[in-house]
Chains A and B, each alone.
Chain A
Amino acid sequence: EAGVAQSPRYKIIEKRQSVAFWCNPISGHATLYWYQQILGQGPKLLIQFQNNGVVDDSQLPKDRFSAERLKGVDSTLKIQPAKLEDSAVYLCASSLDLPPALHFGNGTRLTVT
C-alpha cells in the first residue's frame, strides 16, 4: 500500500512570510493528524481530523496556523505569518481507528529565518 505522502520536503522562508504544507494520507484512513516536532523534542499534536471534520485542534495556534481537509482526503496546513519559533519538522500521519497506529509521512523541515 502507498504510504503517507507529504510535500515539500524542505522549506526555508523569512519571518512574517506564509507557507503551506500538503499531505495525502493512506487510502481508507479516516483520521489524519498534523504534528509539530521541534528539534530535540517529541512530536506535538497540532490538529486531528476525522474525515473532513476537526476532532481536536486545542494546541493549534489559531492566530497564525490553519488547516483544512477537503473531501476527507488530502489536507493542507498553513502558517501565516511565520515566526522564528515555527522552525520545526511538520509531520502528517494517518490512522485507522482500531487498532490505533499512526502511519507517518516523511515530514517537512521548515526553517524560518
Chain B
Amino acid sequence: AQTVTQSQPEMSVQEAETVTLSCTYDTSENNYYLFWYKQPPSRQMILVIRQEAYKQQNATENRFSVNFQKAAKSFSLKISDSQLGDTAMYFCALPNTGNQFYFGTGTSLTVIP
C-alpha cells in the first residue's frame, strides 16, 4: 500500500527567504510519480511540481524545486525567494498504478512580510 508522511504540520518563512518542506513515502513499485500540490485559502488544489521516479534529475519549476532521494524514499520541496502568495497548505502525493492518489496530511506554510 502507498503511504505518504508529512511530519511538519506548520512552517513559516520570511518573505524572500528559502524554505524546505519534507515528505517521506512508501511504495513497493519501482517506477512511479511524486507530486506537490498547493492549496491556498480559496481551496483549489494546484499542481506545483511533479517528479518521475526513474529520472535522476530533480524537477524544477521556477522558484520551486525538489530534492528526490529514491533510496531514502524522501521527496522534499524547496521554495526559493518566498512570496506572500506562497502562503498555503502544501500536500505531497503519490499515485499507485491505478492512478489513485494518496495524499499526506499537509504542511501549512505562512510567508511573513
Contact = CB atoms under 8 A, between A and B. Distances in A.
Q: Do A and B come from one complex?
A: yes
A89 interface: yes
A31 B47 CA distance: 17
Nearest to A109: B43
B100 A56 contact: yes
Contacts of A101: 35, 47, 50
Interface residues of B, number: 23
A91 interface: yes
A107 to B, nearest CB: 4
Contact of A106 (B4, B37, B43): B43
A70 B83 CA distance: 42
Interface string B74-87: 00000000000000
Interface in B64-108: 91, 93, 95, 98-101, 103-106
A31 B99 contact: yes
B42 interface: yes
A89 B43 contact: yes
Interface residues of A, number: 26
Interface in A59-113: 89, 91, 93, 95, 97, 99-107, 109
Interface of B: 4, 33, 35, 37, 42-47, 50, 52, 91, 93, 95, 98-101, 103-106
Given A48-B98, A97-B99, A101-B47, 4 more contacts: A43-B91, A99-B52, A102-B37, A106-B44
Interface of A: 31, 33, 40-45, 48, 55-56, 89, 91, 93, 95, 97, 99-107, 109
9 contacts: A33-B101, A40-B106, A41-B105, A41-B106, A100-B33, A102-B93, A102-B101, A104-B44, A104-B45
